[in-house]
Homo-oligomer: A and B are copies of this chain.
Amino acid sequence: MVRTAVAGASGYAGGELLRLLLGHPGVEIGAVTAASNAGRPVAGVQPHLGPLAGRVFEETTPQVLAGHDVVFLALPHGQSAAVAAELGEGVLVVDCGADFRLKDAGEWERFYGSVHAGTWPYGLPELPGGREALRGARRIAVPGCYPTAVSLALFPAYGAGLAEPEAVVVAASGTSGAGKAAKPHLLGSEVMGSASAYGVGGTHRHTPEIAQNLSAVAGRPVKVSFTPVLVPMPRGILATCSAPALPGVTADALRSAYEKAYADEPFIQLLPPGQQPSTGAVTGSNAVHVQVALDEAAGRIVVVSAIDNLAKGTAGGAVQSMNIALGLPEELGLPVTGVAP
């Protein structure tokens, strides 16, 4: 049994990690820590985690986190490096925060306004070379939820050299992506019945991460226009991604590229022609649903992907990466059926 700990377990990412770990046959759950919620019963903060109802959140200290094979970090940005430094090199540290995702220190500083902590192996195994980078890793940076949805939607187009390096992405997201801290604009009264964009004009912090992933696949810099849209649902990301098609690209060639790229992927499902992804179908699962189209009049490749932002977009991606790092079956403990309707 792999012994795991979750630091930052009272938030949404932490709660989803615990939900998935509870259903994972190869792990046991050790320390469950929090910051301001330390000392509170898990039952009061995460009432959906029935089997942990008797537990109490501990403080996030090196002592509490010691003695585990895997430590998941679901902490605010900027806190992961210090915690990881106290854990031995043999411990697998899986960071759901942003600290170690970017390779370019300048981009980090531009978007996060602090000193770059470094770069860890990137937990998106479906990207070219992604699995290899994770095997045996002891430090993993879990991708952001939007970069997961967008990178998986567009890498086949860039990998097959079908698209111009200018992507436009508008992604509708459920509210859990904004976290559990109580802010007025996230109140149910505000979000129900209303859609709104944020980070408009390329200011969202996931923008450089998306560009980093697509550029690596394309082999040249890909410019990304990214707009996230908050919509009234608790979970899910629906990413509408497009890029100018290179001359001569046909609908058949496009679909073939996607079929080939996803052929052996256990979690990505290219939907049958005519069927569009919906976030509802992947809720609670690690599945990624994708559909692709060529808009000949506009000259653009349009790819729509749906994920659960908390599952494949965060905690599911984290567990999948852990499985690979530890040499466990990649799909272990990760549901591919959504909870719908």
Which of A's residues lie within 8 Å of B, judged by CB?
12, 15, 19, 22-23, 41, 43-44, 46-51, 53, 166, 168, 170, 172, 174-176, 178, 180, 182-184, 186-198, 200-202, 207, 223-227, 229, 231-236, 238, 240, 242, 244, 269, 271-272, 275-285, 287, 289, 291, 293-300, 302, 304, 306, 335-341
Contacts and interface: CB of A to CB of B under 8 A. Distances in A.
A243 to B, nearest CB: 10
Given A182-B183, A223-B297, A192 B234 contact: yes
* Copies of the polypeptide in the assembly: 4
B15 A340 contact: yes
Nearest to A305: B197
Contacts of A298: 166, 168, 202, 223-226
Given A47-B271, A196-B278, A189 B175 contact: yes
The 7 tightest CB contacts between A and B, nearest first, are A194-B280, A201-B293, A48-B338, A188-B191, A170-B170, A196-B278, A202-B295
Given A187-B180, A282-B48, A175 B192 contact: yes
Nearest to A167: B298
Nearest to A47: B281
A293 B197 CA distance: 12
A187 B186 contact: yes
A53 B19 CA distance: 25
